Structure 1
Amino acid sequence: MGETLMPPPGVVPAHGEQELVLLVRQRVATRLAEYAGEREAAGLPAEDESARRATVGRLLAEELGAQRRLALMQGSKIIDAAVEERVAQAVTDALFGTGSLERLLADTTIENICVNGCDVVWVKDAAGAWRREGPVAASDAELVELVRTLAAGTGGEERRFDRGMPRLNLQLADGSRLFAVMAVTGRVSLTIRRHRFPAASMAELVRLGVCDRQLASLLTALVRARKNIVIGGGTNVGKTTVLRAFAHEIPPEERLVTIEDTFELGLDTDTVAHPNVVAMQAREPNIEGKGGIDQAELVRWGLRMSPDRVIVGEIRGAEVIPMCNAMSQGNDGSLSTIHASTSRGVFTKLASYAAQAPERLSLEATNLMVASAVHFVVHLGWDAAGCRVIDSVREVIDADGTQVVSNEVYRTGPDGRAVPAAPLRTETVDELVAAGLEVEGSAFSFWGVG
């Protein structure tokens, strides 16, 4: 292989700062690999990320210092401090996987990052306002390489991203969810959804204004009474956060099996709240189109793992049937989410997924299955002020032919937030009281149980 000719240290390449970034990155990466090899030869363990970052910082400082000294010796223009800082940041970002996305991921006020090509970058903050940011890569080709680097750096198997597999869905190291597409769009596009409240609780939902204390106490009792709950809502309305809050109320002695298309819940990472968790993730087919494992199959596997509860991150297809079977066969207290525009629409969505499953259940059979499996539907929406809120809670009663019969115990009020409506069934109230719901002398007197 021929040797790449590079300008001498201390001289900014003729084409500018970007070329300097590439040059320094190459040299630091080479020295980093040599240093790792030396440690291995000496029988030393590989550095953890903190130590590796410190090593990269030291090598960067040495490279930039060498450039300053040689520039003085050769009478060349010395790079100013601002350029050095930008070069160091760009090299550090590139070597640790997220490239120029690092500065956006480091901003805790950002909820969504949308990249419509390397230089068309939009972010949305927690208040819902969009703003444009600078490029995250020098070209779309470099953006593709960045996405592939991210895929290679995630735990477990490497996920493809090419014309043969033009989509990529994965979880970043900080818990953010990334979805990227190429070939089917005019330019490479990626979307990153941040989870600002990874360790949510019912108290946190109250603090955030998602629900009031009265509704929070009801929902807590539903979880503790082992009611099967489906959480519905639109995109980016906070379904995963609410599911995490519900899971926070599950006793730590219970064994959980979580099933997701892409790891996102992270219940297995909190070994204090949930010490006995098996987290499973669907797998894409290999290049020959074989080896794929979907969520429906994982639900079936999960039922053989002695779970107290099965949690499906998001119902989106054929897994609806094994999930309902799990809920109605002794795994009460199971949780899942689903995309739906209304709480009643959750039943329509469940039926449409069941109709597409290999079992091809009729609508009547599907409704009977849902009515025997799902106890409550909790729906999220937006209030009049544009805040995420729970806007409806339904208790499933029965099935009647083409309809699932339910009582809307909390309905959408004038401001978009849930307000008390139809009473719970007496037997349900008794179960919730046994699970710790306090009704005597409380605001639940509107149901006639105080």
Structure 2
Amino acid sequence: MDTVSCLNPGQLHGQSKEGEELCPYKNRHTKNRKTIVINCKECDSESSLNDPDCRRKIFGILRKEVHADCLVLSRLYERDYEGKALESLYTLAGFRESVIGYGGMKMVPGPCTRPEKSDCLGERKDFMEILIENAEYDPMKARLALSMFIQVKGLKKVPGDPPECAACSEHFYHLLYEILEKAPFLPNMPVKIPAPQNHDFSVPAGETGWSAESLLADTSGELAPGEMAHVPPHVPPHVPPHSPAKILKSLLQQGENGIKRREGREGREGRESESLTINGCTNTDGSTTDVFFEYESRIKPHVRPPFSSSRIYTEAPRNTEFLECYDISGRDERDERVLEISIYRYTDRPEKLYMIRPPEYNLRPEELRLLEKVRKRMIRHRPGDLAFTDPAGARKYFRRMAREFLLEELLSGEKSVSPEELESYSDLLTRYTNGLGIVEDLLSDPRVTDVYINAPADLNAVHVVLEGEECVSNVFLSQDDLDALVSRFRTISGRPFGEAVPVLELNLEDFGVRVSVIGDSLSANGLAYAFRKHARDPWTLPKLVNTGSISSFAAGLLSFLMDGQASVLIAGEVGAGKTSLLSAMLLEIPQKYRVLTIEDTHELPIEKLQGLGWKVQGMSSHSSVLKSGAEISPETALRAALRLGSSSLVIGEVRGPEVKVLYEAMQVGQAGNSVIGTIHGSSAENVYERIVHTLGVPPASFKATDAVIICSTIRPGGSMQKLKRVSQIAEITGSPIENPEPGELFTDIMTYDAARDSLLPGEVLEQGQSELIEKIARKWGISIDQALKNIEIRTRIKEKIAEEGKRRPALLEAEAVSEANNIFWLLMDSMKSRDKTGFKPGFEPETGKGSGTEAEIETGTKAEIESEINFTPGFETDFEADFEAD
């Protein structure tokens, strides 16, 4: 008859007792997520899965909380386990439950009259109890020992070995195998097995020994059913070192160094027997070499500082290829931080990965302790004044408070930091208390134009638009982040937001960002955000030429249209560059004219234009999506603007009933100099359909529009890259038909050629038959040829600025372009003052007084333009010298 050698509990770490206290923890519930937060701040253990006591308590909590989406170990660092990592933890915690169900089963089947029955039964029960105890805190080691015990047939042979004893042993083996088969599959886990020292192993000649590592290649402890038939029914008394039994002896202690049988058992007090241990292997000096499973190396948490609840993955997935990396500085000039940006390409889908690595996620422990102390003080602080309530000065207030608290903590702890580190710490605390957190870092990248956060945000990565191409990022925001952001936005904007008003739009002047937020009940899965960056410096036509959005001739034409007080609509899809083009065209309006702007969220660079000398008056209207009783409707704002005198009228977005008022004013000339605005539409015909048929403007009134400019996003060759291009400039013809078809109403002045990636002149322009150019020429009292020559001059100027701007980027900025335009207008005025220019409106040559024929005057005019604005290298040199002098 066989008897069993019990598993040795050794020094069982943290064995659970019924009702024993677990670590303090709490559950956080959001709409889509449940998070278990374990407070490890007061714990003496390591707060690590490699710590047996921590493992036992974590598994106990997971067995109690049967479902969670995230597990957080909260200490100096926050360790987040989710997804596959949390699934593995639940599997490990459930292994004990799989084993414990077999504890009450019959260990010795059928009637047995052998005197060894009581010993067999007791030893097998001890085996199961110790297996359960070990499974509670180290399931990997417990399962490994169980699997190896089955493989080597660990039941020792009883003298005589009657057949009924062999069948009884096989019954117990199959019971153990059933435990392995029904237990959840445990994840493979790296294992550390130091080589046993001075083992008394004799290796026969010609045979090679097995290492413990080779047996543990499959650390999950799985045993295939077919393997049982190949395992010998008992362990021979002398086995070669490469046999499973010999390897088992190197891992599982046997003999007198084994455990003592549990005391207190009836009829078995004080008895000892040979046993197996799952704690390790025994050396000749009596010491034990432990088998240690690296739980942390396989079940990896996401580590983050305590002041941030955002999850940032610092390692690129395996299915990506590295493309490039670069560094960016912080948004604030005083921010000395350097952010590392890496761009990867997915190998299994047409998408790129944008990875950002903020330095605060790699802070030293002493730095984290300091910042956490100061952050808690800032949260508890109750200011004595209301300076912090002013959105414009709140950031400076919090920065100053952070600096003061930091200095106090440093002085009390007798520590010191450099002035640069002090500024960096102050900015970090300000960003995570009064700022936008990690979103600020994303917006500080000059190559990023948009940031999108889809709901539910804690399950969807933040998306960024990098130079026109949308990329997935390594950033996941938490529900706490979203709630804090929307609360701050509601305070800044002064607009309501909630279930009754689920849309919020505002403009963050400090960040140069337009924000749109949607929530319940409009968004099905919680809050969603869209951040759209404005250009830090206003766009200019030469800058757009260098980006490829327009050609240099198109820049000259648009400058001519703005100078000629044309009424223009800029149409296009979302993100096609409508507002950028509108901002650039405003610089082409002479500074002597007044400009009125109407916007719901301020995107136009009004302050910058005012600083450059333009007479701009900004006006606000209510949100384009939802109305607020405290705000003015666009229709009312437009009527007020028309009563403020003759001005160029700029409308941020033409969209509603105010369009009728606008076209009515344009028809009677009440609008003043010109009207320019943006509207959503993919073509000139689409704009006509929307304004006439959707918004109800009469077709005859629509003819008050002079031109429609279409902005588009182009995907070259069908690639994933998106390029912003002006695809069409069309004029409205003076068709006598009362209700013309859209195709009969528009004539293309310029069209986009995809093969050349350029905006090319149309036939009507090449043949000098443009009605719009002729209309402006009549207003100026010049011929269409002279108007075309004027456009050519402007083209050469824009082309020269764009070309030199590649070498000297300052020439592309608004200040330089406005100076160039002012020089051009002054030169034009000086030429108009001369009688022979023919530019003065109403000028008629006096025949018979030597003034020459009309043809001669036109020829003289062209010669005068060429001589005054000389297209020679000398003029270009003087033009550059003016900028260098300024």
Tell me which interval the TM-score lies in, with the shorter structure as reference length.
Answer: 0.7 to 0.9
In structure 1, what is the Cα distance between the partners aligned to 2:627 and 2:776?
51
Trace 1:289-308 onto structure 2 (pairs within 5 A).
Answer: 290-308=629-647
Unaligned runs of 5+ in 2: 1-40, 43-73, 79-304, 308-368, 416-421, 717-721, 796-861, 863-886
SS of the residue aligned with 2:748?
A: strand
2:751 match: 411
The Cα offsets for residues 83-138 of structure 1, whole Å up to 9 and x where unpaired, read as x99986653113333233221122222111011244331111114141313234xx
In structure 2, what is the Cα distance between the partners aligned to 1:303 and 1:440?
31
Shift in Å, 1:147: 1.9
In structure 1, what is the Cα distance between the partners aligned to 2:377 and 2:661?
53
Shift in Å, 1:441: 11
From 20, 35, 59, the equivalent of 2:404 is 59
In structure 2, what is the Cα distance between the partners aligned to 1:313 and 1:61?
45
Q: CA contact under 8 A between 1:60 and 1:88: conserved in structure 2?
A: no
**Higher relative contact order (CA closer than 8 Å, sequence separation 6+):** 1
SS of the residue aligned with 2:452?
A: strand
2:590 match: 251
1:380 match: 711
Q: CA contact under 8 A between 1:257 and 1:307: conserved in structure 2?
A: no
Closer, same or farther: CA 129–342 of 1 in aligned 2, 3 Å: same
1:342 match: 683
Closer, same or farther: CA 427–147 of 1 in aligned 2, 3 Å: same
In structure 1, what is the Cα distance between the partners aligned to 2:761 and 2:614?
36
From 106, 112, 116, the equivalent of 2:450 is 112
Shift in Å, 1:275: 3.8
In structure 1, what is the Cα distance between the partners aligned to 2:412 and 2:707?
66
Trace 1:161-240 onto structure 2 (pairs within 5 A).
Answer: 161-173=497-509, 174-183=511-520, 184-185=522-523, 186-196=525-535, 198-240=537-579
Q: CA contact under 8 A between 1:383 and 1:417: conserved in structure 2?
A: no
Q: CA contact under 8 A between 1:317 and 1:353: conserved in structure 2?
A: no
From 4, 22, 25, the equivalent of 2:375 is 25
The Cα offsets for residues 315-357 of structure 1, whole Å up to 9 and x where unpaired, read as 12222212222333322421001111122211112124423xx
SS of the residue aligned with 2:734?
A: strand
Shift in Å, 1:219: 0.9
The amino acid that maps onto 2:410 is G
Shift in Å, 1:162: 1.3
Task: Report the TM-score when normalising by structure 2.
Answer: 0.41
Q: CA contact under 8 A between 1:228 and 1:333: conserved in structure 2?
A: yes
In structure 2, what is the Cα distance between the partners aligned to 1:418 and 1:145?
46
Task: Report the TM-score when normalising by structure 1.
Answer: 0.77
Trace 1:309-324 onto structure 2 (pairs within 5 A).
Answer: 309-324=648-663
Q: CA contact under 8 A between 1:108 and 1:196: conserved in structure 2?
A: no
Closer, same or farther: CA 105–354 of 1 in aligned 2, 3 Å: same
Q: CA contact under 8 A between 1:300 and 1:322: conserved in structure 2?
A: yes
Does residue 439 of the first structure (1) align with residue 804 of the second (2)? no
Between the two proteins, what is the percent identity of the paired residues? 20
Trace 1:16-165 onto structure 2 (pairs within 5 A).
Answer: 16=78, 17-18=305-306, 24-29=374-379, 31=381, 33-34=383-384, 52=397, 55-62=400-407, 65=410, 91-116=429-454, 117-119=456-458, 120=460, 121-136=462-477, 139-154=478-493, 158-165=494-501
The Cα offsets for residues 194-228 of structure 1, whole Å up to 9 and x where unpaired, read as 12364111111212211111111111100100000
Unaligned runs of 5+ in 1: 1-6, 71-83, 356-360, 445-449
In structure 1, what is the Cα distance between the partners aligned to 2:790 and 2:538?
31
2:615 match: 276
The amino acid that maps onto 1:55 is R
2:581 match: 242
Shift in Å, 1:270: 2.5
In structure 1, what is the Cα distance between the partners aligned to 2:412 and 2:505?
41
Closer, same or farther: CA 295–353 of 1 in aligned 2, 3 Å: farther
In structure 1, what is the Cα distance between the partners aligned to 2:574 and 2:699?
25
The amino acid that maps onto 1:387 is L
Closer, same or farther: CA 229–197 of 1 in aligned 2, 3 Å: farther
In structure 2, what is the Cα distance between the partners aligned to 1:202 and 1:412?
17
SS of the residue aligned with 2:602?
A: coil
The amino acid that maps onto 2:507 is Q
SS of the residue aligned with 2:649?
A: strand
Q: CA contact under 8 A between 2:490 and 2:496: conserved in structure 1?
A: yes
Closer, same or farther: CA 58–222 of 1 in aligned 2, 3 Å: same
Larger Rg: 2
293-302 or 59-68, larger mean C-alpha shift: 59-68
Closer, same or farther: CA 206–63 of 1 in aligned 2, 3 Å: same
In structure 1, what is the Cα distance between the partners aligned to 2:392 and 2:709?
46
In structure 1, what is the Cα distance between the partners aligned to 2:693 and 2:500?
29
The Cα offsets for residues 275-303 of structure 1, whole Å up to 9 and x where unpaired, read as 42221122269x99644532122111111
389-398 or 232-241, larger mean C-alpha shift: 389-398
RMSD across aligned positions (CA): 3.8
The Cα offsets for residues 224-277 of structure 1, whole Å up to 9 and x where unpaired, read as 000000001111010000000111111122111111121111324421345422
Closer, same or farther: CA 396–64 of 1 in aligned 2, 3 Å: farther
Shift in Å, 1:62: 3.0
In structure 1, what is the Cα distance between the partners aligned to 2:538 and 2:676?
17
